[in-house]
Structures are given as C-alpha cells and as structure tokens.
Amino acid sequence: MTIAVIQTERRRDDPRRAATRSALIEAAERLFAETGVEAVSTRQIGAAIGALNTNVVAYHFGSKEGLIEAVFRHRLPAIDRRRSELVRKLDAAGRSDNLSALLRAFALPLFEQTDSAGQHSYARFLLGLERSGMLAARALVRSDFPQTEGLTSRMAALLPPEVRQTANFRMRLIFAMLGSALQVIDQEPELSADEARQLFDHAIAMAATAYSALPTAEESLL
C-alpha cells in the first residue's frame, strides 16, 4: 500500500475530521434555514463551529453546493428508512391506496426529525432551499433514496386525472405548508410533545385536502 493511500485512509477514519464535517453540516442546515442559501457565506458556516480555518468548508466539501448535498446525505437515510417502514405498514393493512395515509407516511418522519436543539432542522432547511430557488438540488441524491421517490409517485397516481400533471407543483405547495407548520411548532417551546403532534396532525389533514383539491368552475373563470 502506498503512503498516499495510507494517509487517505487515516484522514477518512479520523474521528476529529468526522466530527468537524458533522458540525459543519448541521451549522449549514441551520443557517440556510434561517436566512436562505445566498445570504450565508462558507466563512460564516466555518465561524459558526468555531473553526479558525476560513477555508474549512472548501477543504471538507469543496463548495457550498457540495455542503448542500452533504446535508441531504446526512438526513435522508433515516428519513427514507422511516418512510419505508410506514409504507410497509400501510401495505400490510391494505391502505396503500389511501392518499391521506400515504401523505402521513411522507410527513411524519419530518416531524420526528429534530436536531440537538430540538428543532425540526431538515424541514426548515428545505424551506430555506425553496426560498433561495435551490430546491432542485434535491435531484442530486434522488436515486439514492428510492423510498421517498416511490412514495411521492404513489401519491401522484391517486390524484384526480385532470390535475395529475400538477403533482410536482402540488407537492411543493403542501411541503411548504408542512414545513411552515413545523416552523410554527418550533417557535412555541412551551408545547408538550403531544400538543406538537396534534398540531402537526392538523397540518397533515389540511395538506391532504389541499393536495387533491380541484378548482371549481367559478374559480377557473376568475
């Protein structure tokens, strides 16, 4: 084994390096959620974890775009597994054609994910990407997390035929509703866990209705 390979493997296994990467990912997730991607510099992200090296993001991730992809890869494995588990339960119960139940399987892992401060950081990160016009970056990892893609495809197939072509647009709108609900919940620290879950259940019910809603003839003429 060459010296270069040995050094590469040591860097890969270095717990300090892994801890720095994880801290940068979570700092970026939080800052992008708070102010949007374009308003945050890589230096600010490094400073947020107390790094003295102003190029620490470039060293670990290459660019801000690489860091965004790293946030996806940090959060999505657990979320995708959880969605898979929920969908299997629906299939076993014969509820695989229930749109509200499928939407709950999509949304519940977002509620269950919280960061070290108890915030729903990943959903709020996605809202930050949407505000910055960068949500399409999710496509970078789409093929690596098939359960989420399969779940949204099953939901789209249950839409009324006349609005099925708007499935992606509708998905973005209901995610904005769910993400905003989690943001409101995060701003109410006095809520108990049960109260927070009840509020999110209301948001899921509202989102399910909105996702499959049909415009009326009167609305179409306005």
- The CA distances from residue 54 to 27, 50, 134, in Å, are 15, 10, 24
Q: How confident is the model at residue 15 (pLDDT cuts 50, 70, 90)?
A: confident
CATH topology of domain 3-213: Tetracycline Repressor; domain 2 (1.10.357)
Whether the predicted pLDDT of 7 surpasses 90: no
Q: Residue ranges per domain, the chain?
A: 3-213
pLDDT score for 217: 63
Contact of 57 with 72, CB cutoff 8 Å = no
Exposure pattern of 52-87 as b/e (b: 16+ CB <10 Å)?
A: eeeebbeebbeebeebbbbbbebbbeebbebbbebb
For residue 3, the model assigns a pLDDT of 42
Calculate mean pLDDT across residues 69-89.
Answer: 96
In this predicted model, what pLDDT tens digit does every residue of 184-215 receive, in sequence order? 999 998 999 999 999 999 999 999 999 999 98
Q: What is the pTM of this model?
A: 0.86
Size of the chain in residues:
222
Average the pLDDT over 75-81 and give the result: 96
